[in-house]
Structure 1
Amino acid sequence: MKNLASIFVFLVCMAWLMFFSACKEKRGEMKTIRYVGSYNRDFNDLNEVHLLEAQRIGVKPLASREAAGHAAKKMVEIESNKVYEVEELTYSIPFLIPEAAELLESIGRNFRDSLKNLNAPEYKVLVTSVTRTEADVKKLRRRNLNASPNSAHRYGTTFDVSWKRFLKIDDKDPVNVEPEKLKMVLASVLKDLKKQNLCYVKHERKQGCFHITVRNK
């Protein structure tokens, strides 16, 4: 009986080893991750550019969160899904105009597809700020004097995506990718979307995010 038990344990262990080896072979060796360009030069659209487009295609600024109910009819609520994660929002509400919501979806989807092509573990981008009411802007400026009182975030067209932090999909995956490498992948995705005139992007060094406004061609 002891021999049979030992054989059973051995077979189970071998099955697990074969399973994990197959998974590793299926993904393949991770390719080299690099970004050709400069974050500050490639993503240098100033606030005035974001603001003009936001005012042209966005909703009217909301006085408060209580007033958001009516304006929400012109926007869509964004929620964490398979391609991006919405962090707990302190100074903004999770609503965007449909075009901006579609852009965010494209960013998240292209980011994960790029990681798959690189044979890298899957991660999700983190959305750190979305639409701000006038009350949100005032509260934020009490905490951060550098925050613009005339922000594109007020029009439902603009959101921030972190380049410092990302959410790993499978915590059991032993392979990890450094945030700086993931930033390179995200930057490549954004650069491609910018070339298609789908968005304006500002590389925010102090805030650790990409500030993104959808464009309506």
Structure 2
Amino acid sequence: MSSATEKNPVATKRVRLTREQRLNQLIDVAWRLVREEGTDALTLPRLAEEAAVAKPVVYDHFGTRNGLLAALYQDFDARQTVVMDAAIAASEPTLEATARTIASSYVDCVLTQGREIPGVLAALAGSPELETVKRAYQRVYIEKCRKVLSPFTDEKGIAAAGFWAMLGAADGLSNAAATGEITADEAERELYETIVAMVQRGGR
């Protein structure tokens, strides 16, 4: 008499993921670990256990815990870029609409990630190597903001210090909203006003 697995040999085969699919799976599991247990619980052996894969698979993708943290930040940044690009494309070409879109997309992205992103950012700040990675992505974000806000400024544009101040406000307000210190509406409104004021100081 045949067993169920003999009747259906496909059932005994594991689905083989592509490298990209495996990476996405590991990133999803890592975010869940951070969300449920905090950043301190995120180690490569623990990630392998939670993802039900061999440890060498995890080490092959990330190398070190710092590599994993960097990958989480890159994942967050990539999703933030997609959200912002789509929102900008759909917004009206006015300063008010553009500033509101930048503010809402930044806050929304942080809130979507919830409490885990502040922990990842704190861990990034503890490593000079990872701080360099973070700074590189921040510069890309600032350049994106400079480009979309340039139609509302004069030929001098906005000073670099203004953008770094804006980014600091965005991080602080979004993290405060994520931890419940302020509401999302308060964070978006304050960031919107910060952006408009920054543009008007150096604008037409």
More helix by share: 2
Same structural fold, with TM-score higher than 0.5 when normalized by the shorter chain = no
More strand by share: 1
TM-score (norm. length: structure 2): 0.29
TM-score (norm. length: structure 1): 0.28
